[in-house]
Chain A
């Protein structure tokens, strides 16, 4: 059974930093591209970032480019999202999900809430 457990969310002030983690199990993590998708309160889904299986290809949404850094540790079956210079508009539930380019999101974690507020 595929399991994705996000952690690291919380309350942070504008301009602050936070590092999210996603622990994966139930599939061959090292062979899958991984993604972060977020959902602001009461809003729709927004793709944030993706990383290929060997970290060779990394992409970001324009809204987070230059502020967020995605990374992974295949030995630990873990995905990370380092978020710097946080803004109020980054407030959202952040989901991790495996997905190869041009394919659907088959599985989702339960999400971790990030709140940016003074």
Chain B
């Protein structure tokens, strides 16, 4: 059971917009930055969003992140079939050791 809560799956049509939620608590999301990772089938995770809403170089602006209180949201606009992947939120938890905590992952299907 993951520390952060994500919906197991979301779906939308090509060209549409989708949001993925990530819920936590004051000891993790509420007081720390949130990151988002994209994992294409059979590959390693890839950093998509960091510090709640920043994109690493090379990540298109179709991907966005936001945070409010103890929840965070990943938004993807202009959906493409290549966006089909598992998406994970992550942060750290001040009540635990120096490790990270992740959501259980959300599988995105582009219909």
B101 within 8 A of A: yes
Q: Which stretch, B10-18, B45-53, B74-82, touches the partner chain A?
A: B45-53
Per DSSP, chain A at the interface is loop
A106 with B44: CB separation less than 8 A: no
B99 with A47: CB separation less than 8 A: yes
B102 with A111: CB separation less than 8 A: no
Band of interface residues on B? 20 to 34
Inter-chain CA distance A110–B104, complex, in Å, is 20
A99 within 8 A of B: yes
Q: Which stretch, A15-23, A56-64, A73-81, A82-90, touches the partner chain B?
A: A56-64
> Size of chain A's interface in residues, with CB distance under 8 A?
27
B105 with A99: CB separation less than 8 A: no
Chain B residues whose C-beta falls within 8 Å of the C-beta of A44 in the assembled complex: 2, 88, 102-105
Chain A residue with the shortest CB-CB distance to B51:
A104
Q: How does the 8 Å CB contact mask read for B38-72 relative to A, with 1 for contact and 0 for none?
A: 00000111110011000010000000000000000
Q: Across chains A and B, which 6 residue pairs bring their CB atoms closest together, nearest first?
A: A104-B35, A47-B99, A108-B44, A59-B97, A104-B50, A45-B102
- Name 20 extra pairs, CB < 8 A, besides A44-B104, A45-B88, A95-B44: A37-B100, A43-B104, A44-B2, A44-B102, A47-B101, A47-B102, A48-B99, A50-B98, A60-B97, A99-B100, A102-B33, A102-B92, A105-B37, A105-B47, A105-B100, A106-B50, A106-B56, A108-B44, A108-B46, A110-B43
